Chain A
Amino acid sequence: MPREIALADALVPSILLVYLGCLLVLWVIDTIVGRYGLYRYVWHPSLFRVAVFFVLFGAVGLLLYP
């Protein structure tokens, strides 16, 4: 994956797109988890959410910058 992507002739760092994509994935996970009430098994839901985001973003980010 290239490190910069031209969107309408503006070079956008692809890590930004990854960031937005990860936010979207996080939102989906969050909705599913919340829908089935699984946050009851988590001590600190918002910390958990942040951690999930870091895992996602870190994993995909490592693909870009190995």
Chain B
Amino acid sequence: MYQTDMYEGMLAETVPIPGFQGQLIHAYFARPLGPGPFPGLVVAHHFPGWDWWYKEATRRFAYHGYAAVCPNLYERSGHGTPEDVAAKVRGEGGIPDDQAVGDLEAAMRYLRALPYLNGKVGIFGTCSGGRHAYLTACRVPGFDAIVDCWGGGVVAYGEDLTPMRPVAPLDYTAGLSCPILGIFGNEDHNPTVEQVNILEEELVKHGKTYEFHRYDGAGHGFFYYIYKAYRQEQAMDGWAKVFAFLEKHLQTAGEGE
């Protein structure tokens, strides 16, 4: 537990990492200063892109003791303002699932190569990032915890499946090798309450360890305090659930905030 007479510091910067198929991509990396050991966290950004909210969230995780890395999943779409780049990706119908999984796996391996890692790595994502986090944690071994915040499109059928997103993440559930925390708003349209039910049933069917929190009065993106969707009470409770879950599964004995 932090005390006011304790030293604290943080390093946060853009770093290059070898992403999918070894292609160099940018990532935002933040970690506490000091020798560690620190748990690691891969941060999968949302549909609006590799933006300031996600960099702030990455620093927030570092403040709470994590070596956190947020890769730019839109790197191949060029550079510009995060909004312009995300609009380009939106116009292209998203990014290929294999590429996103490859970049997020690479971010996990980047963390695992750090000399001050405590040996554990989780993955966090919201919106499309929640979907990408789920997909990655199901398809790639090496994660110790996943946080899926309102990941849309985990349950998908028919027209939802495209050449870039050929398989519903739900269909990879058998491969999930770590506990999952799900944070959802009951007024969300993607995922709907029914889709969250289907996901939960699939996790039960495969005997997975999960913890879901569903919030009344909240829709999509209720953590984002700059948007109308923000719900202060639900968001603060959700963040508390996120940090408690990560501490339980990623911190080793004797470590704390």
Are the chains A and B members of one assembly?
Answer: no
